[in-house]
Amino acid sequence: MIEIRNDVVLPARREEIELHTADGLALVGELALPETAAPVATLVTLHPLPTGGGFMDSHVLRKAAARLPALADLAVLRFNTRGTSSPRGTSEGAFGAGESERFDLAAALEFAASRGLPRLWLLGWSFGTEVALKWGPDHPEIEGAILLSPPLKRAQDSDLVRWAATGKPLVAVVPEFDDYLRPAEAAQRFALVPGCTVIPVARGRHLWVGETQVYRVLTEVVRAVNPAALPLPTEY
């Protein structure tokens, strides 16, 4: 048995992939699948702000891909949005401030459909939550979305109203000491979405640093999409 923490990578089928957008760009990414079982659901991840250092390997998303195929039978699709670089490579194009990234999200969902991946959930972190809220309502194939540290800066109340009209579940995981949006304000803003569950995390911060915070975040992700896999083990 090994303790699951830091950079432990559990068994999975991992494949480097390339996405192709409707406006002609190639985006680099990775798909991680359970090693033997069929996935019960799929996380389509949207990373933090690339101009602030966010990319597909931002630590919570990297750890989701490293652990959740084995621990919760989830498929995890990660990719660099346009103009973003990581050890996997650089996606073509230039940062679009959350607007042209709608094509990136569409390309990821088209890829997931082409592979027959089940039950598509968006998992956005920070800037990624803005892309999810702004453009997720355009995609009926999405089952729901999980938002980590949503700043609600680019995404406006009108985007929340659009999401509410879909009737799909929304989960906002909000750190107590977030830099942009804290739980009390989040509860007020997300009241526009009757199907939204706001989860305040005591002592949490925007970047979810530390294994305790990572474990809590991944627990809330799994609670939303495959609660039968809880509690997540701490050893493998």
pLDDT at 87: 95
Over the stretch 133-187, which tens digit does the pLDDT of each residue have?
A: 999 999 999 999 999 999 999 999 999 999 999 999 999 999 999 999 999 999 9
Nearest to 178 by CA among 153, 146, 215, 197: 153
- Note whether residue 123 is domain-resident: yes
Q: What is the CATH number of the domain that holds 64?
A: 3.40.50.1820
pTM attached to this predicted model: 0.98
How many CB atoms lie under 10 A from the CB of residue 233? Answer: 12
- Note whether residue 236 is domain-resident: no
- Note whether residue 4 is domain-resident: no
Q: Quickly state the pLDDT bin for 57 (edges 50, 70, 90).
A: very high
- Rounded to an integer, the average pLDDT of 52-79 is 98
CB burial readout 157-173, b (16+ within 10 A) else e:
eebbebbbebebbbbbb
pLDDT at 67: 98
- Note whether residue 212 is domain-resident: yes
SS3 sequence of the chain? CCECCCCCCCCCEEEEEEEECCCCCEEEEEEEECCCCCCCEEEEEECCCHHHCCCCCCHHHHHHHHHHHHHHCEEEEEECCCCCEECCEECCCCCCCCCCHHHHHHHHHHHHHHCCCCCEEEEEECHHHHHHHHHHHHCCCEEEEEEECCCCCCCCHHHHHHHHHHCCCEEEEEECCCCCCCHHHHHHHHHHCCCEEEEEECCCCCCCCCHHHHHHHHHHHHHHHCHHHCCCCCEC
Sign of the CA dihedral running 31, 34, 37, 42: negative
**Gap between the Cα atoms of 219 and 74, Å rounded:** 13
pLDDT at 219: 98
- C-alpha 166: how far from chain center: 19
Q: Quickly state the pLDDT bin for 32 (edges 50, 70, 90).
A: very high
- Rounded to an integer, the average pLDDT of 190-199 is 97
- Note whether residue 1 is domain-resident: no
pLDDT at 164: 98
Over the stretch 13-31, which tens digit does the pLDDT of each residue have?
A: 999 999 999 999 999 999 9
Task: Look at the chain and report how many structural domains it folds into.
Answer: 1
- Note whether residue 141 is domain-resident: yes
**Gap between the Cα atoms of 56 and 64, Å rounded:** 11
- Note whether residue 8 is domain-resident: no
Q: Quickly state the pLDDT bin for 209 (edges 50, 70, 90).
A: very high
* Torsions phi, psi for 34 (to 5 deg): -55, 145
pLDDT at 41: 98
Domain residues for 125?
A: 13-229
- Rounded to an integer, the average pLDDT of 65-88 is 98
- Note whether residue 41 is domain-resident: yes
